[in-house]
């Protein structure tokens, strides 16, 4: 473990050296230790400043927002100690990582909840490099909505030569102009697109500007850590290139025109900043500015964008694959009311089944049982008029085709389905365990749109 800590410190130093060139995002690293663990995350309430002159009573990792950026390295172990100082249980899920089931962070399904005052050590070795993130999987509407979301960057075994590497967490805050929270959800919105926030931010700031080295090769990592909003990302730079989708590099970069990013999804872009000092590039959601990059004087040498090495995603055996159909629908049944008078909102179904919930000793049956090592074709059919980002834990899909648009096959852990869209995605069931499988619009997840598949 000490060797991995030493290596990690080396590439953290190089990342910090990059940050000296201009005013890059002020994201911090989690606290480090050279003995028992590599990083420490303390989960606790904290007041943060999102709107001018207002204080927001958030939930935080290590006392603020944006949350600490955790940097691991491909094929090297990392240990992260989580200390729960909330008044309720929590867990941490490492979104997009293909890691052992007991590190996946789903309460009761893969671990017991981390109770108030308790500590849990997560340890895993990332097989894939790329842009990932972390968040709780308990009381998700509130815990994520109030700030418990953060970036996890897995550096490549052989790091590409970018002049700057920006981590940009996209989040709409449900807050008023004085910083106090508005309602995070409502039944009327939960059975539609979800409840949108009011304040659109990048790393907790509204339309920030970051300085980048003039003439430099810039890697931009967008992460949609929002509960609800589907971002439609575009750029004023006609030459901006998509180089990775949901943590996975693509073989041939694609020129960015616009790219839909639902909650849970990530997008890595490569741009060459202008040689001319003071020139800028703005990235937008539709026509609303998200972030601006401004060229500043530097010693960067103008060169082309470096290529990203591909991740070792298992090749699906399409000739011997079994097809499993999943229909995602709206539940039109009468909403049940408990004996205490509380309403049990269930609006969404997967194969006509709403998630029943689970507890210790009470785990519902899986949606599907998969044979380890076998390839499956998931036929994902959205029979509703709303977008649904379908996220699989512990595995990576190979997205093959859609009935709505042309697709060049790519790898993803979160497949976005549009209105009445059916997507075929291959999955090699090579990771044993009970893996959560759900829509990543958090209100949909909490009102029935969740289940799991079991690999045995």
Ordered structural domains, the chain, with CATH: 2-158 (2.60.40.420), 166-296 (2.60.40.420), 318-455 (2.60.40.420)
* Cis status of the peptide bond prior to 66, with omega within 30 of 0: yes
- pLDDT recorded at residue 58: 98
Quickly tell me which residue has 């971002």 as its tokens: 231
CA 346 to CA 343: how far, in whole Å?
A: 9
Quickly tell me which residue has 């972030």 as its tokens: 291
- pLDDT recorded at residue 20: 31
CA 288 to CA 244: how far, in whole Å?
A: 23
Query: Cα–Cα distances in Å, from 152 out to 92, 177, 307?
Result: 12, 30, 21
Q: What are the structure tokens assigned to 359, written together?
A: 């507890």
Sign of the CA dihedral with 22 first, then 23, 29, and 35 last: positive
CA 84 to CA 117: how far, in whole Å?
A: 5
Which residues are 200's β-sheet partners? 172
CA 270 to CA 125: how far, in whole Å?
A: 27
Q: Running along the chain, 456 residues long, what does each successive block of 10 average in pLDDT?
A: 33 35 46 72 98 95 98 98 98 98 97 98 98 98 98 96 96 97 93 94 98 96 98 98 98 97 98 96 98 92 88 98 96 62 78 92 96 98 97 98 97 98 98 98 95 97
Q: Which strands, in side-by-side order, build the sheet including 150-155?
A: 70-73, 150-155, 130-135, 93-95
Phi-psi region of 8 (alpha: psi -120 to 50; beta: other; left: phi over 0): alpha
């Amino acid at each position: 473990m000490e060797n991995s800590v030493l290596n990690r410190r080396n590439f953290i130093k190089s990342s910090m050296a990059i940050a000296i060139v201009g005013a890059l995002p002020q994201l911090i690293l989690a606290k480090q230790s050279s003995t028992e663990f590599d990083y420490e995350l303390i989960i606790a309430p904290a007041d943060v400043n999102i709107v001018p002159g207002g204080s927001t009573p958030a939930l935080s990792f290590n006392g603020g927002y944006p949350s600490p950026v955790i940097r691991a390295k491909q094929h090297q172990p990392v240990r992260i100690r989580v200390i729960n100082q909330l008044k309720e249980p929590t867990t941490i899920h490492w979104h997009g990582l293909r890691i052992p089931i007991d590190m996946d962070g789903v309460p009761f399904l893969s671990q017991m909840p981390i109770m108030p005052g308790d500590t849990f050590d997560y340890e895993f070795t990332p097989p894939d490099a790329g842009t990932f993130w972390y968040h709780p999987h308990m009381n998700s509407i509130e815990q994520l909505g109030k700030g418990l979301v953060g970036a996890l960057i897995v550096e490549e075994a052989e790091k590409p030569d970018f002049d700057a590497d920006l981590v940009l967490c996209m989040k709409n805050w449900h807050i008023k102009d004085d910083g106090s929270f508005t309602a995070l959800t409502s039944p009327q919105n939960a059975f539609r697109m979800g409840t949108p926030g009011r304040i659109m931010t990048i790393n907790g700031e509204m339309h920030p500007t970051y300085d980048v080295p003039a003439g430099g090769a810039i890697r931009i990592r967008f992460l949609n850590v929002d509960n609800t909003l589907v971002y439609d990302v575009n750029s004023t730079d006609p030459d901006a290139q998509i180089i990775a989708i949901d943590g996975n590099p693509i073989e041939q970069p694609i020129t960015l025109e616009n790219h839909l990013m639902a909650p849970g999804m990530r997008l890595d872009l490569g741009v060459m900043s202008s040689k001319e000092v003071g020139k800028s590039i703005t990235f937008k959601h539709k026509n609303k500015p998200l972030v601006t990059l401004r060229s500043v004087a530097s010693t960067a040498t103008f060169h082309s964008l470096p290529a990203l090495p591909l991740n070792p995603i298992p090749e699906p055996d399409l000739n011997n694959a079994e097809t499993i159909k999943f229909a995602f629908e709206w539940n039109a049944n009468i909403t049940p009311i408990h004996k205490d008078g509380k309403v049990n909102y269930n609006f969404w179904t997967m194969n006509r089944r709403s998630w029943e919930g689970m507890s210790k000793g009470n785990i519902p049956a899986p949606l599907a049982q998969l044979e380890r090592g076998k390839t499956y074709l998931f036929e994902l059919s959205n029979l509703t008029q709303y977008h649904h980002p379908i996220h699989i834990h512990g595995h990576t899909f190979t997205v093959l085709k859609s009935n709505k648009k042309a697709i060049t096959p790519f790898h993803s852990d979160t497949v976005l389905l549009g209105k009445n869209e059916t997507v075929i995605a291959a999955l090699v069931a090579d990771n044993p365990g009970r893996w959560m499988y759900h829509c990543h619009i958090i209100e949909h997840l909490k009102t029935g749109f969740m289940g799991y598949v079991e690999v045995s």
